[in-house]
């Protein structure tokens, strides 16, 4: 039986995190939960304190994690590095947020990865957009690890200034000497790739530092690393996670929060093993439906 480690990064709704762990609970499933240091008060929450006492669960608060910053990449690396020090050998690593809920039974989940023909599951954006994304996010300076720059007017003006310099042939940052890739920051990989990434970053500090003062580093860091590794041919282009970027009303935050109206869509797509985003209150009925579906799968042995 293979061992799975779920790396959960959360900053809110500890009761939902507890429900996620409960749904995934199995003898060969282990959990490492990171709470954003900006929200360390959550560590006093009863649900998280209960999880911290579970033998298969470890609750951490190592870093402040800011939207769009490199801190999420570094947090993931920290968690993988700690996992390598555990006595248990983990066959698979699954990076999920505190708003990702499982959609299939643990039996089906385990069977899928036992027969997996790939060593990593990543989603990728269209390559036609790579050049623009690389120019804006990787080659320009951003300050998201210092503050949330989303909608910050001065940050937008500074970005336009940098782009104007590039248009005149003035380069501010050295490009990476690696092929560029980009996609969703949530992924799954086997123990070989996790060990490779930890070892590579330990011996290539410049690669790790290069993502400081970038934007959305979490959507590039691991994609570039894995796709420029000896494992590139064993990557599945799809991260096995369902999300929806189609708003149901103007101005809706995306990816949108899923509700019971999305349940049938999930049932029609059994190749997804997680769905996001879910909310402790708004997705309550959906969570109940998914739990019933998962429990039925356990009873049927599938």
* Predicted local confidence at residue 150, as pLDDT: 66
* Predicted local confidence at residue 155, as pLDDT: 72
Q: Burial-class residue 171 by CB neighbours within 10 Å (0-12, 13-18, 19+).
A: exposed
DSSP code at position 72: H
Largest alpha-carbon pair distance within the chain? 65
Residue span of the structural domain in which 242 resides: 4-125+183-207+228-300
Domain tally, the chain: 1
Q: Burial-class residue 135 by CB neighbours within 10 Å (0-12, 13-18, 19+).
A: middle
Average pLDDT, the chain: 94
Does residue 80 fall inside a structural domain?
Answer: yes
The candidate with the shortest Cα–Cα distance to 272, out of 240, 250, 297, is 240
Q: What is the DSSP string of 181-213?
A: ----S--EEEHHHHHHHHHHHHH-HHHHHHTTT
* Predicted local confidence at residue 151, as pLDDT: 60
Does residue 49 fall inside a structural domain?
Answer: yes
What digits encode the pLDDT tens for the residues 253-275?
Answer: 999 999 999 999 999 999 999 99
- CB-based contact 2:88 (threshold 8 Å): no
Q: How far apart are CA 16 and CA 278, in angstroms?
A: 9
**Residue 21 CB partners (closer than 8 Å, separation 6+):** 6, 8, 31, 33, 51, 54, 57
What is the percent of the chain with per-residue pLDDT over 90, rounded to a whole number?
83
Q: Which two tokens stand for residue 23?
A: 């749904």
Phi, psi dihedral angles at 6 (to 5 degrees): -100, 115
Does residue 165 fall inside a structural domain?
Answer: no
Does residue 275 fall inside a structural domain?
Answer: yes
- CB-based contact 133:182 (threshold 8 Å): yes
Does residue 213 fall inside a structural domain?
Answer: no
Phi, psi dihedral angles at 30 (to 5 degrees): -125, 155
Low-confidence ranges of the chain (pLDDT < 70): 149-154, 297-302
Q: How far apart are CA 268 and CA 265, in angstroms?
A: 5
* Predicted local confidence at residue 149, as pLDDT: 65
Kindly report the length of the chain.
302
CA dihedral 157, 160, 164, 169 (to 10 degrees): 120
Does residue 104 fall inside a structural domain?
Answer: yes
Does residue 98 fall inside a structural domain?
Answer: yes
* Predicted local confidence at residue 24, as pLDDT: 98
What digits encode the pLDDT tens for the residues 208-222?
Answer: 999 999 999 999 999
Q: How far apart are CA 152 and CA 32, in angstroms?
A: 33
Does residue 162 fall inside a structural domain?
Answer: no
CATH of the domain at 251: 3.90.550
């Amino acid at each position: 039986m293979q061992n799975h480690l779920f790396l959960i990064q959360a900053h809110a709704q500890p009761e939902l995190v507890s429900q996620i762990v409960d749904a995934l609970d199995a003898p060969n499933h282990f959990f490492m939960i990171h709470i954003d240091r900006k929200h360390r008060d959550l560590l006093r929450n009863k649900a998280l304190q209960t999880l911290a006492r579970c033998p298969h669960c470890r609750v951490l608060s190592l870093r402040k994690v800011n939207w769009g910053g490199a801190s999420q990449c570094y947090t993931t690396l920290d968690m993988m590095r700690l996992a390598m020090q555990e006595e248990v050998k983990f066959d698979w690593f699954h990076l999920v947020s505190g708003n990702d809920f499982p959609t299939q039974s643990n039996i089906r989940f385990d069977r899928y990865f036992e027969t997996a023909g790939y060593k990593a599951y990543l989603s990728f954006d269209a390559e036609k957009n790579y050049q623009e994304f690389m120019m804006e996010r990787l080659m320009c300076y951003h300050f998201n690890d210092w503050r949330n720059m989303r909608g910050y007017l001065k940050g937008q003006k500074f970005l336009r200034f940098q782009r104007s310099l590039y248009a005149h042939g003035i380069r501010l940052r050295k490009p990476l000497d690696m092929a560029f890739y980009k996609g969703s920051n949530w992924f799954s990989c086997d123990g070989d790739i996790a060990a490779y990434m930890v070892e590579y970053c330990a011996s290539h500090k410049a690669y790790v530092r290069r993502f400081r003062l970038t934007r959305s580093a979490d959507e590039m860091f691991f994609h570039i690393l894995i796709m420029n590794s000896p494992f590139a041919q064993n990557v599945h282009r799809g991260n096995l996670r369902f999300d929806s970027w189609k708003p149901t009303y103007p101005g809706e935050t995306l990816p949108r929060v899923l509700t019971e109206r999305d349940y049938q869509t999930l049932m029609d797509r059994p190749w997804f093993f997680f769905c996001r985003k879910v909310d402790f209150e708004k997705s309550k009925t959906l969570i109940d439906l998914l739990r019933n579906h998962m429990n039925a799968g356990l009873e049927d042995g599938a």
